[in-house]
Amino acid sequence: MKLGSTMRELEIKIQFDGIGPQDILDALRSHGHEPYATAAQLDHVFAFDRADIESPAKGAVVARVRTQGDRNFVTVKVRRSADLDRLEYETEVVDGSAARSILSALRLKEMLQIRKQRWSFRIREGVTVCVDEVDRLGTFVEVEILDHEVYDRDSQLRDEVEWIARSVGRPPKLIELAYDRMLLMQESSP
């Protein structure tokens, strides 16, 4: 996503049983793809209420302050329909701590933190594939389409997932929840 811009983001998240990030990275590299970015990320996730994450309705707002190395980004996502279909606003900020204070002053509450290692691949124009190793959750692959009005989004996402599954050599398990929601659900379960 271009910083300081507004994009409609549609993503699909998949998981493969019994393999870790290195297996997926090797599969993508075997097709000539190298990550354009590799980063450890720490996300501070904010919402007005836990329900905005646990059972999001259309229009629910979730914000995050991401620290990645010495860079900080503020992202605000507004749910459009499904959990992973959102309008997204993002910009880089100098001071992550100040950004968190601003979100708190706007009455958003910090709900959780998410730590992950991410490898990002640009598979083709407008399509990013991220391999994520998320603390407490495991390994995931996210396929993101930004500015997807140019695509038949359902068909495009399906094609990308099928291509990744063929590359990995295993059937994918579709994950329809965002990491923040999965972690809150995990905390709530006995």
pLDDT at 133 over 60: yes
Residue 138 or 79, more confident: 138
pLDDT at 148: 46
Position 3 confidence tier, pLDDT thresholds 50, 70, 90:
low
How many angstroms separate the CA atoms of 54 and 21, rounded? Answer: 27
How many angstroms separate the CA atoms of 187 and 190, rounded? Answer: 8
pLDDT in tens, 74-130: 999 998 875 557 788 999 999 999 999 999 999 999 999 999 999 999 988 878 899
Q: Take residue 123 and report the two structure tokens written for it.
A: 């598979």
Which of 12-26, 30-44, 66-80, 146-160 comes out lowest in average pLDDT?
146-160
Is-contact 118 39, C-beta < 8 A?
yes
The pTM of the full predicted model, rounded to 2 decimals, is 0.85
Nearby residues of 96 by Cβ (< 8 Å), 6 or more positions away: 44, 65, 67, 72
In degrees, rounded to 5, the angle at the alpha carbon of residue 149 between the alpha carbons of residues 133 and 155 is 65
CA 135 to chain CA centroid, Å, is 14
In single-letter form, the type of residue at position 122 comes to R
Domains and CATH numbers, the chain: 5-188 (2.40.320.10)
pLDDT in tens, 155-166: 777 788 888 888
